[in-house]
Amino acid sequence: MKWILIFLLLFQPLFPKPNTWVEATDQYARLTHNAPLYKTSSADQNNYGIWCEMEATYFVQIILDFNESLYKVRYANMTGYVEKDAVTLVYSTPQNPYPSNIIITIASSCYLRSTPTIQASNTLTTLFKGTTVTFIGKVDSETIMDFNGPTWYLVSYQDLIGYVYCGYTEKVGTIMPNIEQVTVAKPNTSEVGITPFSNIQSMWLVLLALIPTIAILYFIYKPNKKTSK
């Protein structure tokens, strides 16, 4: 029993954890290019299947390492999914992870809608001329009005989040890149919360390094031989 306890104390850190993922705390990843924030894990390529296009150089907060190709993430006030090859994990917490200070002024009264299309059922509220809303992202829609192109803006207004057509807003200028310096994770590190003993090679190296310690413990705790009378 004594030797079993010693073995468990020495080698417990080496045993791999079950491959189940829990919610990460303050784990962020930087967008390497403009990428869609998907509404569901099916990663539907249809524009109605994404919340918006996220801006390169900004960040997403990792909620869950969902599967081999997707992270479940938080971007501004939105929760969705992003493809892993669109981001790079970072170790530090960014001070300004999202483009949250971009204000859009409504140039012509319009509706704030729950989807980037014209439907009677998707109206959230009326935005009057001169109202200001906060930019979250943008998305191209099949619904084009007034020959102003396909772009709709995903915005926040009071306690609402919805879409407004670009033709009803003042021109949104160039979104400046986020130049904040952060500590980037090592290449090929794709797991959230990876442990230093998570691969077989590391386990064998540590086992070899512990051989002298095991030998010393053996001689210290070696049971005494009983001599026969």
Phi, psi dihedrals of residue 186, rounded to the nearest 5°: -65, 150
Task: Please report whether residue 131 resides in a domain.
Answer: yes
Q: For 161, how many CA atoms within 13 A lie in the half-sphere containing its CB?
A: 12
Report helix, strand or coil for 176.
Answer: coil
Share of the chain above pLDDT 70, in %: 66
pLDDT of 211 reads 72
Q: Specify the higher pLDDT residue, 83 or 213.
A: 83
| pLDDT classification of 141: cutoffs 50, 70, 90 | confident
Task: Please report whether residue 203 resides in a domain.
Answer: no
- 59-76 per-position pLDDT tens digit: 999 999 999 999 999 999
Is 60 in contact with 71 (CB distance < 8 Å)?
yes
Strand partners, 74: 61, 79
| pLDDT classification of 101: cutoffs 50, 70, 90 | confident
pLDDT at 173 over 50: yes
Task: Please report whether residue 120 resides in a domain.
Answer: yes
| pLDDT classification of 218: cutoffs 50, 70, 90 | low
pLDDT at 227 over 90: no
pLDDT at 7 over 80: no
Is 172 in contact with 135 (CB distance < 8 Å)?
yes
Q: Specify the higher pLDDT residue, 136 or 46.
A: 136
Task: Please report whether residue 22 resides in a domain.
Answer: no
Q: From CA 105, how far away is CA 108, in angstroms rounded?
A: 9
Is 70 in contact with 102 (CB distance < 8 Å)?
no
CATH of the domain at 126: 2.30.30
Query: Can you list the pairs that 65-69 forms with residues at least 24 positions away whose Cβ atoms lie under 8 Å?
Result: 65/21, 65/24, 65/191, 65/192, 66/21, 66/41, 67/41, 69/43
Q: Specify the higher pLDDT residue, 39 or 21.
A: 39
Task: Please report whether residue 110 resides in a domain.
Answer: yes
Task: Please report whether residue 133 resides in a domain.
Answer: yes
Is 113 in contact with 90 (CB distance < 8 Å)?
no
- 38-63 per-position pLDDT tens digit: 999 885 555 568 999 999 999 999 99
Is 133 in contact with 156 (CB distance < 8 Å)?
yes
Task: Please report whether residue 163 resides in a domain.
Answer: yes
Q: Specify the higher pLDDT residue, 223 or 166.
A: 166
Domain housing 154: 103-168
User: Nearest-CA neighbor of 180 among 35, 80, 31, 54?
Assistant: 31
Q: Specify the higher pLDDT residue, 228 or 119.
A: 119
> How many structural domains comprise the chain?
1
User: Nearest-CA neighbor of 168 among 108, 84, 79?
Assistant: 108
Task: Please report whether residue 98 resides in a domain.
Answer: no
Token reading at 90? 């970072």
Average pLDDT of the chain, as a whole number: 79
